[in-house]
Chain A
Amino acid sequence: MPTIKTTEGPLWRKRTPLKQWLVWAGWLIGLCITVYAWQLISEKTIWMFVFDAPSQMADIGTRMAPPDWSYMSKLWRPVWDTLNIATIGTAIAMVMAVPIAFLAAHNTTPHKSVRAAMLFIIVASRSVNSLIWALLLVVIVGPGVLAGTIAIGIRSIGGCAKLIYESIEEIDQKQVEAIKATGGSGAQQMIYGIVPQILPTIAGVGVFRWDINVRGSTILGIVGAGGIGIQLSASINVLAWTQVSTILIVILGTVFVSEYISAKVRGAII
């Protein structure tokens, strides 16, 4: 710890002078980036609209209250669709992710080139948002729940496979060797040596991903890929604000319930 000698005795400081200067320089760079980025954004902003925002908020706020509860009866089906998109999408993703994870983990992969290819699939699936996948899939399979389900599935493969292959790489190799020592074949080593060790992870990842996907599937309707997003964007387009507030409350409820279920199930597994 640096201390500075003064006439009144040693004075304690958190950092040495050089370190302190480096910290200040870091702050300066950060400030420059902030100012530059802010300038770019503000150039493209029509400030008149921004200053108008409080009155807009008040206006839309008053129009949104009270929620149109009679509209609820038309929302059960979209909620069911939304949950199905999330659940079937997650199921598809998990079915695909487990083999991909085994091919991608360095201790179970058959070859380095296979590992590289699988890592590429994982990254590509993870980097593109499910809304973009849905946009493309609506063109291919047509608007509806199927496009949304496949989009959620494709987007989730990467996320699930990444977590699973990391846990495969962290397993206790001794258990696999023990199975090998009894004369177990490659498949038996995998089923009795590796799978029991990663099963809790697989289940945990599935539930965790399902929770994320419920949230994600509420918006897919904006590009026509099914779920409650269709009603949301339709109601916003016709400025039916009381219906919008009902839909938002329903989404809020769905997300809270899914988060609660996911937390409970994960607590039971792990």
Chain B
Amino acid sequence: MTEASSHYAETWKKPHFIKSSLLRYSIYFGTVTYFFLAIYTMEVNWTRVAEGIPRGADMISKFFPPDLSDSRGVILDGILESIWMAVISTIGGILLSVPIGLGAARNLAPTWIYLFCRGIIAVSRTFPAVILAIFSVKFFGFGPFAGFVALSIETIGFFAKLLAEDIENMSKSQAEAVKATGASWLQWINYAIQPQVLPRMIGLSMYRLDINFRESAVVGIVGAGGIGAHLLTSVQRYEYATTATVLFSIIAIVIMLEYTSGYLRKWVQ
């Protein structure tokens, strides 16, 4: 034994996450360069920012107390409209998602249906709800119907995708057992597949209701109904006490929905 190897190491260093030091340093270098370029090209008007800080402080001071009087009676109306828009678009979206989700499951559908349904899902997932809302306002006119259409399409992208993935991951033996009894296609779906995916889907639909409410609060900014329009107006009119009322009610409803949906999901599963 040589002298060196008889010593135990006296210091220890954490091994690096990325082992190759060349790769590690080039990632460090790339990151730093990117952030430098990104911040350098940002074009911030610092005098405007400096002016804005007292304005921000003013805004927040006007938030308290929120103006609960709702003098024109539009806020309550807008919030209810948002809630019902979220409900109906969740229901509509799920009804449309079931056939699309079945079609997008690799193990159920023939290839051309599979590709068609996956295409619908991909397109509806790509565009944010607000862009869909802009177009549905152009097509269907101002009002909650446009928001309903936009949010239903968004719901398809979410729900049909998860339904299809759930069906693809289901237990095959149950499906085969039901098929072996001579069940028709509908019976096969109803007795072999539906019981396997239903609990998770009920949970997901509650979760989607939650998301849809959050979205229905903003599609009003582009004219698709709900509370968003009043929020935009109140900010443009510098009525920050009203803005605060709207904001706090959105937060309160979202928290409520989140707890209810969490509770329901536990109860179902």
Contacts and interface: CB of A to CB of B under 8 A. Distances in A.
A181 interface: no
A83 to B, nearest CB: 8
A146 B191 CA distance: 54
A41 B145 contact: yes
B91 A34 contact: yes
Interface residues of A, number: 61
Nearest to B135: A60
Interface of A: 14, 30, 33-34, 36-38, 40-42, 44-46, 49-50, 52-53, 56-57, 60, 80-81, 84, 87-88, 91, 123-124, 126-129, 131-132, 135-136, 139-142, 144-146, 149, 192, 196, 199, 215-216, 218-219, 222-223, 232-233, 236, 248, 251-252, 255-256
Nearest to A124: B251
A140 B255 CA distance: 26
Nearest to B214: A129
Contacts of B163: none
Contacts of B30: none
Given A33-B87, A127-B250, A219-B131, 8 more contacts: A40-B144, A80-B41, A127-B214, A127-B251, A140-B55, A232-B131, A236-B138, A256-B126
A4 to B, nearest CB: 17
A42 B215 CA distance: 20
B48 A145 contact: no
Nearest to B225: A44
B119 interface: no
B46 to A, nearest CB: 9
Given A127-B250, A127-B251, A50 B128 contact: no
A197 to B, nearest CB: 13
B84 A41 contact: yes
A149 B130 CA distance: 18
Contacts of A88: 35, 38-39
Contacts of B217: 129, 132
